[in-house]
Amino acid sequence: MSWTDDSSLHVLMAALVAVLLALLVHRVTASVVLRLTRSLPVSNRAAQQCRAPAQLLMPLMALQAVWHAAPDSFSLIAGIRHANGLLLLAALTWLGLRAVRGVAQGIVGLYPVNVDDNLQARRIHTQTRMLARTAMFIIVMAGLALMLMTFPGARQIGASLLASAGVVGLVAGIAARPIFSNLIAGLQIALAQPFRIDDVLIVQGEWGRVEEITGTYVVLKIWDERRLVIPLQWFIENPFQNWTRSSAQIIGTVFLWVDYRMPLAPLREAARLACEAAPEWDQRLCLLQVVDAGERSMQLRVLVTSSNSSLNWDLRCKVREALVDCMQRDWPEHLPLMRAEVGERSGVAAVPGADGA
């Protein structure tokens, strides 16, 4: 049957009408859904994300119905049906990805992290993003599998692969190990949550905040604006420090070496005044102790507390500067010194130049 036949023109006209009706239905439905979900942040965000793929999906569904109703004698009908089916599966995959993204964005938007106590928000952000990326990976794999199954030759390919399953399975397993290990590690991190978005971690001696968690790696923002990229699997197999696991509050230390003759009361007062004058201090603890006694001097340790590690770093610097300034100004003779003793032999003091030199 040629394209100029009456029946072919009827099929093409039906396809055109179906597309126009589908676009009209999509426009009305999208407006109604957005209006109904206006007070529901998660549903509204998902509806907004699904609007574009739905605009492609609905005409493809209408065309699929037209092509299946068309007679088999229609020119190239088999190829048209197959191509439309592939586009339909691609549109469904796109719709699934956008729906998952919309739900994740809606949930994340309900829990802002720019608040003082954002522990719960960071927990929700981490779980939502990791589970969303896992779900998107599964949707993509399912979509590709369904599209592959539409090809008749796929069964033959599968039979060939099964015939050489030993070699192919070994090679595929070795090649896919990093992908699946990171995928499993992502699920473990999402459920167990050893760390979350914006947590402060110490990884391989580097101090930084968790800036991003993807499906395969974690981006750690170092204090000096560098970025440390670490595979997810590394966190499952290696120990690391999390300074904000259950709370962002932290105790910091300031160490200072002083002479044994230095009185401690003035230094305790200087540390207290420095803490009270610093907005970074949370008023939980300010304690000066002698923690070591060496051969020539003693070591002091000051414990100071803050609501988070960034503020505590600034507070420690201020307290250290205040103590050094106090000693330089009022007690300079009690800074660490190197002593030399002059001994006496047979009741005669050692006098420089006594040997006639």
DSSP string, 89-146: HHHHHHHHHHHHHHHHHHHHHTS-S-SS--HHHHHHHHHHHHHHHHHHHHHHHHHHHH
The Cα–Cα gap between 86 and 91 comes to 9
Backbone angles phi, psi at 218, to 5 degrees: -120, 135
Cα 351-352-356 angle, rounded to 5 deg: 100
Cα 101-236-198 angle, rounded to 5 deg: 50
With pLDDT > 70 as the criterion, what percentage of the chain qualifies?
Answer: 83
Q: How far is CA 97 from the centre of its chain?
A: 20
Q: In this predicted structure, what is the pLDDT of residue 161?
A: 45
Q: In this predicted structure, what is the pLDDT of residue 307?
A: 86
The Cα–Cα gap between 351 and 189 comes to 74
Mean pLDDT, the chain, rounded, equals 81
Confidence at 2, pLDDT banded by 50, 70, 90: very low
With pLDDT > 90 as the criterion, what percentage of the chain qualifies?
Answer: 21
The answer to whether the pTM exceeds 0.85 is no
Q: In this predicted structure, what is the pLDDT of residue 5?
A: 53
220 token code pair: 């750690």
Count Cβ atoms within 10 A of the Cβ of residue 24 and give its class: 0-12 exposed, 13-18 middle, 19 or more buried. exposed
Which residues contact residue 120 at a Cβ distance below 8 angstroms, ignoring those fewer than 6 apart?
Answer: 111
Write the DSSP assignment of 39-72 as a string of letters. Answer: T-HHHHHHHHHHHHHHHHHHHHHHHHHHHHHS-T
Whether pLDDT at 4 is above 60: no
Return the number of other C-beta atoms located less than 10 Å from residue 96's C-beta. 19
What are the tens digits of pLDDT across the range 193-230? 888 888 889 998 888 989 888 878 889 999 888 999 99
Q: In this predicted structure, what is the pLDDT of residue 156?
A: 55
The Cα–Cα gap between 178 and 192 comes to 20
Whether pLDDT at 319 is above 90: yes
Q: In this predicted structure, what is the pLDDT of residue 126?
A: 80
CATH code reported for the domain at 250-334: 3.30.70.100
Confidence at 260, pLDDT banded by 50, 70, 90: confident
Count Cβ atoms within 10 A of the Cβ of residue 97 and give its class: 0-12 exposed, 13-18 middle, 19 or more buried. buried
181 token code pair: 């290990």
Backbone angles phi, psi at 298, to 5 degrees: -115, 150
Q: In this predicted structure, what is the pLDDT of residue 250?
A: 86
Return the number of other C-beta atoms located less than 10 Å from residue 259's C-beta. 16
What are the tens digits of pLDDT across the range 125-158? 888 888 888 888 888 888 887 887 777 766 555 4
Task: For the chain, give every domain's residue range.
Answer: 6-161, 250-334
Which single residue is written with the structure tokens 């979350």? Answer: 196
Q: In this predicted structure, what is the pLDDT of residue 347?
A: 45
The Cα–Cα gap between 222 and 225 comes to 5
Confidence at 288, pLDDT banded by 50, 70, 90: very high
122 token code pair: 């960071």
Cα 105-111-116 angle, rounded to 5 deg: 140
What are the tens digits of pLDDT across the range 29-59? 989 998 888 888 888 889 899 999 999 989 9
Q: In this predicted structure, what is the pLDDT of residue 278?
A: 92
Min mean pLDDT across 62-66, 238-242, 316-320, 345-349 is at 345-349
What are the tens digits of pLDDT across the range 237-253? 888 988 887 777 888 89
H runs (alpha helix) in the chain: 6-36, 41-69, 77-109, 119-149, 153-163, 165-192, 232-237, 264-277, 309-330
Q: In this predicted structure, what is the pLDDT of residue 346?
A: 43
Cα 316-318-323 angle, rounded to 5 deg: 95
Q: In this predicted structure, what is the pLDDT of residue 223?
A: 84
More confident residue, 102 or 187: 102
Q: In this predicted structure, what is the pLDDT of residue 15?
A: 85
Which single residue is written with the structure tokens 């290696």? Answer: 238
